[in-house]
Structure 1
């Protein structure tokens, strides 16, 4: 161990810290600390011991646990693909003392099937948490799950083969999801929603960004469900059933007021059967349902091929509860090799939607391609 790491932790004896596989950088009471988790140690115990501003550094290894974060300003950092968080063997459990509220919440995160949970409440959001450079794999629900957060930042994380979502946020604002890899997840690789348990108007995410991620082999690449005011830019979305799916309904405010730009959306030709909420999906590039004032610009959308009602390059589709698309701007996109059409407006009752300067070969109705 280097000189700047000592085998001590606030409120934990030297021998206990050694048993837990933790070390803390010596500091003043107010200075941020690095809490180091060694192989065989508990990430959750380090998180529980952390104060706002601290960093929990997780060394290479496989850690079989779920991790709950409720401390604002905390950074959880691994070593990329060498730091793996996977489900615990046997029944879900927590390593925190069973009598604490943290233990109950951590266990709820685990029994809910999630890998890393960042959880606040309606009156008390958890702000400015950062998750960096680790892999979350094999959970039955989500790799990373966040609710009632503000300023959550997830970067350099790999979320793979989780049962529902790779990286997901609800009831949250100003999220930053950047340079992550989401692959082989059962639903969306990256999921941003107002709420997964209640109906209601779209949440203003206050500028959530989904930037420069590689999202492959999921059911849907990026889902934006009943939310407003976010950016989906510069992502690679390939080999999913659908690349980007914007979901709105009849609630007010409507979903939309977002920008989908600069993405490469290629060969999302995996077949996904119908669910109680959605018809079968295959070969869908970008789909807008019940969206308003969304800008779809400067994307490359190629070779998305299927035979479902949602198949094609860029589609407007009336939502499944009848909400219309209004005032959406689809412009400057390169849309080629998609079937049954590169551009399709299947929501002809919607008002104010424009298709301008898109390079494509086929459109429904005809005449929407610039070349």
Structure 2
């Protein structure tokens, strides 16, 4: 009767399963690998504090955990600091090989391959300029990750992965296999490759990790689509977070600071990350940099005190840049060069030492609804140079150096509000020789000369001008007959003029000066 009932249960998929076991190291098994080999799916191998001179391979569905609670230590959890998998430097196997459904929780993984302080220091000093493009990359042939995840979904959490000879945690996808591990709350540092490397179609969630002082990026992804959320990446020899070769990650809520190159670096055609709500500060290059045809969405980030631009784009990059705060950077707030093509909308750029927005070297930009300001300094707030093209509309522009907007290229400037620091402020819009500009429907207040153009092609219409000095609009030797119409200027100077057009005659009419009253 019992046998008959059991057969029915098996047929219905309801047969009782063996209880999950807890295999203890070193009490039950002297080595971690021996305990893993004796385990089955659903079992847990728990490991006492100590140093274990081995490299281990997990089996499907098995959890490997250090013993103890989640008390904090110096770098991570105390139990992770006290429970060490030591790879012994020599050998080609990873320190830990993950399996489908397995868990690695609370270990130090170190000494997998040789960490070389002198080599690390050399590349740190050169900002990685002498580092080979594949050296230490997770996908490079012969690379041995300290923790290897290849074509499996698993969990790696609360580990310390440091002073290893290649990448710290390496995640590689596999064709026709979903590779979606969870990598959470680890501390990954001083590895001779990237901190966490992701490639070949992997789709991990990488959350809450600290990646610092690694030889490549703190977190790097190539041909992969991870979700990278809430990580701290600092002091890495290359970018804090890097993505390239068609990667399409979501990078959200990360802090990237004091990295030797960009905070977040994006490159290559087809690379299209969503870069949102990150903080990138005090990096040695741009806060966020994109190049080589990449087309990221960059929105709601804070980029401050970086050595180059807050957001820098070059070499054919095609970013959408929306709602970012770029302040107090050593170069531009947002800079385009090398035929970049960007939409720049609803950003705040203040206190940057060079320009708020620079469009140079044949680049193109739509610049709309931004807050742009700087107190003091000679550079303009917006520079359109080197034959570049920009549409500048509905921005609020405060201050400026030699000009608020400088044009040496082509520009449409309309619907903006310009606020200077008084009649000594200089030009609001300065249009250089050989340039073409349309300046219409703007409000100018507090510039000595609101619009100045020399040997350029210009249309200057329907602007409202306050608090200027002498003549509001000066056009000299236009390359084509200028249009200067419908502008209104208010001044308390009875000698004030709206427009002085010298040289080639054009259409100059309907301009009105209202004197004898202040704004």
Pick from 137, 143, 166 the counterpart of residue 110 of structure 2. Answer: 137
Q: Which SS does the other structure have where 1:210 is aligned?
A: strand
Query: Does the alignment pair 1:147 with 2:126?
Result: no
Contact 1:359 1:370 in 2 (8 A): no
Q: Is the 8 A contact 1:167 1:189 kept in 2?
A: yes
Ranges in structure 1 where 5+ consecutive residues have no aligned partner: 1-27, 93-110, 119-125, 195-202, 249-253, 270-282, 306-310, 319-323
How far apart are the structure 2 equivalents of 1:54 and 1:358?
Answer: 48
Within 2, Cα distance between the matches of 1:370 and 1:204?
39
CA contact (8 A) 1:357 1:370 kept: no
Cα deviation code 1:274-301 (max 9, x no counterpart):
xxxxxxxxx2110111244421011110
Shift of the 42–204 alpha-carbon distance from structure 1 to 2, 3 Å rule, reads closer
**Corresponding residue number in structure 1 for 2:101:** 128
Tell me how far 1:148 sits from its aligned partner: 1.9
Once residues 53 and 162 of structure 1 are traced to their aligned partners in structure 2, the CA distance between those partners, rounded to angstroms, is 30
In structure 2, the partner of 1:31 is 19
Q: What is the aligned partner in structure 1 of residue 218 from structure 2?
A: 221
Matching of residues 162-241 of structure 1 within 5 Å = 162-171=164-173, 173-194=179-200, 203=201, 205=203, 208-219=204-215, 220-228=217-225, 230-241=226-237
Alignment TM-score, normalising by the size of structure 1: 0.69
Question: Does residue 294 of structure 2 align to residue 325 of structure 1?
Answer: yes
SS at match of 1:138: strand
- 1:44 counterpart residue number: 33
TM-score by length of 2: 0.50
* SS of 1:65 mapped into structure 2: coil
2:188–2:211 CA contact under 8 A, matched in 1? yes
Q: Name which of 114, 129, 148 aligns with 2:94.
A: 114
Following TM superposition, the consecutive aligned residue runs of length 4 or more in structure 1 with deviations greater than 3 angstroms are 367-371
Matched residue count? 272
Which residue is equivalent to 2:281?
302
Distance 1:179 1:189 in 2: 13
Question: How far off is 1:113 after superposition?
Answer: 4.3
Indicate the RMSD between aligned Cα atoms, in angstroms: 2.0
Q: Distance in 2 between matches of 1:147 and 1:358?
A: 36
| Bigger Rg over Cα | 2
Instruction: Give 3-state SS (helix, strand or coil) of 2:36's partner.
Output: helix
- Identify unmatched segments of 5+ residues in structure 2: 1-15, 67-78, 114-143, 337-356, 359-366, 373-519
CA distance in 1, matches of 2:166, 2:371: 39
Counterpart CA distance in 2 for 1:35 and 1:370 is 61
Partner Cα separation in structure 1 for residue 323 and residue 304 of structure 2: 14
1:288 equivalent to 2:294? Answer no
